[in-house]
Each structure stands twice: as C-alpha cells, then as structure tokens.
Amino acid sequence: MISPHPVVSLDDVCVTFRTGHGAARREVRAMSHVSFDVAPGKTLGLVGESGSGKSTTGMVVLGLQRPDSGSVRFDGAPMARSLRSRAGRMQAVLQHPRWAIDPRSTVLGAVLEPLLVHERRTRACEQRALSMLEQVGLTEAFASRRPHQLSGGQLQRVSVARALVTHPSFIVFDEAVSALDVSVQAQILNLIQDLQAEHGFAALFISHDLAAVRYIAHDVAVMRSGEIVEHAPTDVFYEMPTHPYSRQLFQELTS
C-alpha cells in the first residue's frame, strides 16, 4: 500500500555553521528556509554548484545534522533524534565507495553490515545479502572478494546493494555516479531506476550533473547559497528553467 504522506518532508529548514575565532569568527548559512517533500517511489534531484548546500541538505534529511530551525519529518512523523531508531530505514550511497567500505571486509561482509545492527549473523541473513548482490548484477563469486579486487563500478554496485539490503524507504545518493566513467554512470543510473521500480523507495539524488539528474529524477530542485531557487517537475524544468541561476547552469552544461 502506498503511503499517504511524503517519505521525507522539510519545512523552512535553516542551518548555520560558525567558523573561526575572535575577529575572524563568521557565520555561514548552509541552508536557508529550505522546504520540499519526497514522495514514495519518487526521486528528487538536487542540483547546484559545490558549496551550495546540497550535501548539508543530505545530512539533514538523514538526521545526521540537526537544523537550527524548521522541521524535518520522516514517514509522516517528526525526525527522531536516535540514529538507531531509524537504522536501516534510511540509507546513503556516496561518491567514493572505497571511502565507505572497509578495505579489510569481503563483499559479502560489506553488504551484511547494515543487517547486523539489529540481527545476528545467520544463514538467512547471508542469503538475503547474496540475493541483493544478484539484484545489483554481481554473482555469488564476488562475495568473497575484497574491495581492492573490484572496479569502481562494481564497488558502487556493492554500495547500492548494502543500502538496499535493509529495505529502506528512503535513500540519499550523494554524487553517486560522478566519480565513474560515463558508460558506467549510465549502468548505475539504470540500476537505480530498476531497483526503485521494484522496491519503491524514495530518493534524494544530489548532483552537479544536470544530465544525470534529468535521466533519473522525477522532480528537480536547484540550490544556490543555501536556498532553493527553483523547484519543478523534471520535464517542466528542462523544457524552460525560469531562474537566472538555473539558466546559467544550463549554459555551462551545453558550452
């Protein structure tokens, strides 16, 4: 049954970081009155230049950064402060899988790790992890390999499998394809689309790559200096962006 409410909802969220000391002390507004919803089974693409506040937004929706003001709701309820209470229900796939996966772990161990937060290791758990590896296109032969034995694209498939093995309702993809070759990017984007259609998770796809966002997102939000300056369905946005900054991003893409 489809949930009647957004999986994630931000309402007027502000986040300010304070840096320096004494006369050099200053405040940096990373998020300024940010509001958006992400519906079940849908992907919101969040685009903007480096330093625009995209990754801070990802941290906020995952509950890893508390806002100074505004509210964050997850599955229709206020975001719980306890990370353990939502373990497995929210996941992330990051830009560099080699940073996120223990180099000493096997592929099977890496995919099993999120399951072991609440469960002990059993054969059933292992079968669930192996099944997830198969769903991302990696055979059981990969289970005993170490990260250094895999290509970047294969490692990102492991990251996707690890994110999905707990059947989360929400996943943040933070520059998840930007470190990959163009041909491999397309494979991972297709994989994410297929898995979303099968599992129904909602997603925030953070990227500076407008082409990747166009391919995968149902809606697009453009972020600049901590603010959402434009938010529209993908087909509407790419037909005619309305904000000058959005048009500037388009010019940079096509130049």
- Please give the Cα distance from 75 to 170 (Å, whole number): 9
Half-sphere exposure for 208 (CA within 13 Å, toward CB): 12
Please state the pTM of the whole predicted model.
Answer: 0.91
The structural domains of the chain, with segments of one domain joined by +, span 8-254
* pLDDT tens per residue across span 87-128: 678 999 988 877 778 889 999 999 999 888 877 888 898 999
Q: Determine phi and psi for 172, rounding to 5 degrees.
A: -100, 125
Instruction: Give the torsion sign (CA, 58, 59, 60, 61).
Output: positive
SS3 10: strand
Contacts of 3 (CB under 8 A, 6+ apart): 40, 75, 76, 169
pLDDT at 62: 93
- Please give the Cα distance from 144 to 134 (Å, whole number): 14
Class in CATH terms, 8-254: alpha beta
Answer for the pair 101, 147: CB distance below 8 angstroms, yes or no.
yes
Give the H/E segment covering residue 71.
strand 69-74
* Token pair belonging to 178: 């930007």
**Cα dist. 87→6, 114, 146, 241 in Å?**
19, 8, 25, 37
For the chain, 255 residues long, give each residue's pLDDT as a single digit of tens: 455 689 999 999 999 998 877 777 788 889 999 999 999 999 999 999 888 999 999 999 999 999 999 999 998 888 877 666 676 789 999 888 777 788 899 999 999 998 888 778 888 989 999 999 999 999 999 999 999 999 989 999 999 999 999 999 999 999 998 888 888 999 999 999 999 999 999 999 999 889 999 999 999 999 999 999 999 999 999 998 999 999 988 877 655
Go through 2-15 and write b for each residue having 16 or more CB atoms within 10 A of its CB, e for each that does not: eeeebbbbbeebeb
Instruction: Give the torsion sign (CA, 117, 122, 128, 134).
Output: positive
Contacts of 182 (CB under 8 A, 6+ apart): none
pLDDT at 1: 45
* Token pair belonging to 56: 């801070």
Contacts of 239 (CB under 8 A, 6+ apart): none
